[in-house]
Chain A
Amino acid sequence: MHLEYQVYEADFVNAGAASSAIKKTLKQLNVNPQIVKRVVVALYEAEVNAIAHAYGGMIYADIEPDKITVKVVDKGPGIPDIAWAMQEGNSTASPEVRNMGFGAGMGLPNIQKNVDKLNVTSTVGVGTTVEMEVNFA
């Protein structure tokens, strides 16, 4: 099953809509609730990142019998130092993002803790792609 969602820059009102839709789909497919929670927490952090830090982007989810693969492709500005961004506590979040309860530098580390595979690639001026995979068993 292939699902696609568009997310828009600074659209905090709808932040989480894609994650919520994917959560409902996984529940309908009777995926183990603990696995669903891991997928959704990771995806929600990535979705908020694309809205808070990037100029929006796309979320592509592929659900197979044994795993889900999600790719969040944003439109930039890109991450100059991914290793720095992966460290807990490092953040470039705006005051607006912090007012929403995010921006403490826990997003990418939180994603890493919840997925089985994570690949973050970024080109400054082009964008960032976060690919994650969670096995169902």
Chain B
Amino acid sequence: MKLREISELLNAKVLCGHDRLEEEHESAFASDLMSDVLTLGDYNPVILTGLCNMQTIRTCEMGNLDIIVLVRKKKATEEMIEEAEDEGMVVMECDYSMFKACGLLFQAGMKPIF
């Protein structure tokens, strides 16, 4: 699924990485626990998380994960957006709950990584 379609499906606001919205991604992973996010090995799924602070961006940077959807109406700080832009990441804000966001993406064909 294209990142643009993901943003539309989740009614999400794209904060940075607008130039990457035509990229296709087929898998997603959802967690608020950054240590879980660091166990994903070589995959680069779309990350859905309700954890919204600098550690969200840093953890994704360390794990080579560069597409982040912030759920539950969490709002990224300017500092987070700047860091994400520097890393070339795509970051979106979505008002839906984690459950609803995951459900919509799963229904639309996004795959789990395990």
Contacts and interface: CB of A to CB of B under 8 A. Distances in A.
A102 B36 CA distance: 9
A100 B62 contact: no
B61 A41 contact: no
B64 interface: yes
Contacts of A15: 54-55, 58
Interface string A37-66: 100110011000000000000000000000
Given A16-B62, A33-B64, A41-B63, A110 B39 contact: yes
Query: Interface on chain A toward B: helix, strand, loop, or mixed SS?
Result: helix
Contact of A101 (B42, B55, B62, B64): B55
Contacts of A37: 42, 62-64
A124 interface: no
A95 B58 CA distance: 20
Interface string B25-55: 0000000111111110010000001010111
Interface residues of A, number: 23
A6 interface: no
A19 interface: yes
A113 B39 CA distance: 9
A113 B53 CA distance: 26
Given A34-B42, A37-B63, A45 B58 contact: no
B79 to A, nearest CB: 9
Nearest to B39: A110
Contacts, number: 67
A100 B56 CA distance: 8
Given A13-B54, A33-B64, A37-B64, A101 B59 contact: yes
A104 B62 CA distance: 18
Nearest to A23: B62
A20 interface: yes
7 contacts: A15-B55, A16-B62, A44-B59, A102-B34, A102-B35, A106-B33, A110-B35
Q: Which 3 A-B pairs have the closest CB atoms?
A: A101-B34, A106-B35, A16-B58
Interface of B: 32-39, 42, 49, 51, 53-56, 58-59, 61-64
Given A101-B53, A107-B35, 14 more contacts: A15-B58, A23-B61, A37-B63, A40-B63, A41-B63, A44-B38, A44-B62, A100-B34, A100-B53, A101-B33, A101-B37, A101-B55, A102-B55, A110-B39
